[in-house]
Structure 1
Amino acid sequence: MTMLGTFLKPMHPEGWRFVGVFAAATVVLFLIWAPLGWLGVGLTVWCYYFFRDPKRSVPLTPGLVVSPADGVVSLIERAVPPQELGLGPAALTRVSVFMSVFNCHVNRLPAEGRITAVAYRPGKFLNASLDKASVDNERNALAIELVDGRQIAVVQIAGLVARRILCWAKPGQEMRRGERFGLIRFGSRLDVYLPDGVEPQVALGQTMIAGETVLARLDDTGPIWLARTE
């Protein structure tokens, strides 16, 4: 990687219009007062980095579950998956990854499989780090049938600042682990519901990288160092 590539990351197309608005506002601020203009420059750069979409090295070993988001593990607990997914009333292990406004917000599929359900539900915009955000906040939930027939769920949850959840995955679609499936703007959380009997291999407060950090292992599959970049 070049020095320039260290700082300049690809940007998701969803971000171009927002960067354009910030840049236009910056020009106006410079005309009003130069210090305000420099503040606008800083906000424009932040907007660019918010929508960054860097390449990731996705582990290839079968049976791995990777983080769907950049951020920090904020909750690990037993909880019932969203009822709209039809996964039943039994509690499963839920791992929550909280994204601040400084994290990359492109979401990636935690495991390879077929999308069996995509369900959007409107709701509140509470702090996404709170436990009750899983129930009360606006969310978009996906159920994924794994290659071995088990089910896993991933839920996009809006937060205090987030006002739009985007999801490109469709029911019936076959997707690979680490493949981009959505985006939330601007600060939020993703929940992963693991199959019964699967324990997470992460800890509270751990920093996660979407598509790269191994969140859990579905079975004892051996080494995990083989990866693809996308």
Structure 2
Amino acid sequence: MKPSRSILHLRKLTKPSLLKRSQPQPRTMKSPPRKQLLTIPPPRSPPKNPTPSQPPRLTGVMMSTLGPNENREAGAMSLLAPGGKTPVYATAMMGIATLCVAVFVHPLGHLVTLVGVLLLVLSTFLANFFRDPDRVIPRDEGVLVSSADGHVMFVVRERAIGRRPSKAETESGEMESDEHTGEWLAKALDAPLSFTTEQRWERVPAGEEGADDVWRIAVFMSPLDVHVNRAPLASTITHMEHRTGKGCRSGPFRPAFRKESEFNERVRTVFSANGKGGHRKGMDIEVTQISGALARTIVPWSQIGMDLRRGQRYGMIRLGSRVDTRAPAARFTPVVVGAEAKDEDFPKGEYVYAGKTILFSSSRSE
């Protein structure tokens, strides 16, 4: 006998799954999510002895191939030298705004467009002039690096034959006066290699070399070169002296590529070695920043008593200019070629880079 429909419907209602679904579920209040503290694991140190299957980790963003005697200067690359951002960005924004006026407002023929293009060209020139690239600094012992970018004008051996008079010597009338270079005392310093004041120099004839001679290397910087100057060695600045073109008075401004420009407006800086880099502590190097006929602005970023690393930036000269470096001839040998040598490989003189190119190598161990 078949079961009736009512009995079959009752069996379906009494199934465990249906009974479970039909039972009301108690409501529960959801608690807000608990805040979790973010923990950053400490950086893993690279293995001391990496194996071929486990290469050392690179720490840092900048990667380059450096030689055993090279060292990249600390800090990130500076795009523009101090004082360069305002003129570069201002002329660029003015050029863009002028072009927008020419395109969207009223062209006024092609005059406004021409002005905008000229402003952008000027901004590009200023950016090229104020550029301040990173440099790979040599780590060789006992060397002096270039303080400027440019062509080497000449390499000459000199000796001191005079100096600037003191105030008492000026009042006593012991000095002699030169029309173009100012007042001098016809006597060198007792210690010429201390460079405590500006001295008068002359070339040393062959066979008359002395213990107090110096090597002078002059580097000419054109308006297209980098104009940031760098320290030739790890040192402390002991003297800084500014002169305005003719002794202590204003005078002529000759083009920087002429040798006579050494008496233009200039800043003379004496670097005293701090004992690092293979140099005897207390040895002095003189670097003179000389302005040209176009550029008459020397911008020092350092001051007396400041410690500098080899190749560290310490100032700049705006537009075309020149930098002279004097080093004791008894301790150093020049390793670059000047234009005066008339070398076929370097007709304009060897091109050097500030903080990177070695100008002098040590001729004796310290």
Query: Match for 2:137 among 52, 58, 61?
Result: 58
- Count of residues in correspondence between the two structures: 215
Report deviation, 1:49.
1.4
Residue equivalent to 1:228: none
1:10 aligned onto 2:66: no
* Structure showing the higher strand proportion among its residues: 1
Structure 1 residues 181-211: Cα deviation after superposition (integer angstroms, max 9, x where no partner): 0011011011000113222100011011110
Gaps of 5+ in 1: 3-7, 222-230
* 219 and 174 in structure 1: CA distance in 2 versus 1, 3 angstrom threshold: farther
Q: Aligned partners of 1:43 and 1:172: how far apart in 2?
A: 38
Q: Deviations over 1:80-108 (max 9, x none)?
A: 57946426666521101110000111100
- How far residue 156 of structure 1 moved from its aligned partner, in angstroms, is 0.4
- Other-structure match for 1:172: 305
Distance, in Å, in 2 between the alignment partners of 1:57 and 1:187 is 24
Aligned to 1:5: none
Equivalent-residue separation in structure 2 for 1:171 and 1:111 (angstroms): 16
C-alpha displacement of 1:154: 0.5
CA 61–220 in structure 1, closer or farther in 2 if over 3 Å, else same = farther
* Cα gap change, 1:199 to 1:46, in 2 (>3 Å): same
Say which structure, 1 or 2, has more relative contact order (CA 8 Å, 6+ apart): 1
What is the TM-score with the length of structure 1 in the denominator? 0.83
Partners of 2:96 and 2:294 in 1: how far apart?
A: 25
Relative distance call for 1:68 and 1:170 in structure 2 (3 A) is same
Unaligned 5+ segments in structure 2 are: 1-61, 64-76, 103-110, 165-194, 201-211, 246-251, 339-348
1:123-162 alignment, distance < 5 Å: 123=245, 124-134=252-262, 136-146=263-273, 147=275, 148=280, 149-162=282-295
Map 1:207-222 onto structure 2 (within 5 A). Answer: 207-219=351-363
| Amino-acid identity (%) | 33
Return the alpha-carbon distance in structure 1 between the equivalents of residues 93 and 244 of structure 2: 32
Report the Cα distance in structure 2 between the residues aligned to 1:164 and 1:48, rounded to whole angstroms: 17
Query: How far is the alpha carbon of 1:115 from its aligned partner?
Result: 1.2
Q: Does 1:22 align with 2:22?
A: no
Larger Rg: 2
**1: CA distance, partners of 2:97 / 2:253:** 31
The letter for the 1-side match of 2:233 is A
User: What residue is the counterpart of 2:244 in the other structure?
Assistant: 122
Work out the CA distance in 1 between the residues paired with 2:324 and 2:258: 12
Matched, 1:189 2:268: no
Aligned match of 2:125 in 46, 51, 58? 46
Question: Cα deviation per residue 1:18-67 (whole Å; 9 max; x = unaligned)?
Answer: 21443355357655432342232122111011111111010112211001
Conserved in 2, the CA contact under 8 Å of 1:125 and 1:162?
no
Q: Do the aligned residues in 1 keep the contact of 2:154 with 2:218 (CA within 8 Å)?
A: yes
Amino acid of the structure 2 residue aligned with 1:212: K
Residue 97 of structure 1 pairs with residue 97 of structure 2: no
Distance 1:151 1:166 in 2: 22
TM-score norm. by structure 2 comes to 0.54
Give the letter aligned to residue 200 of structure 1: P
Aligned with residue 232 of structure 2, among 110, 113, 121: 110
Closer/same/farther in 2, CA of residues 118 and 9 from structure 1, 3 Å limit: closer
Which residue of 78, 88, 98 maps to 2:157?
Answer: 78
Q: Corresponding residue for 2:207?
A: none
Provide the rounded CA distance (Å) in 2 between the counterparts of 1:202 and 1:50. Answer: 25
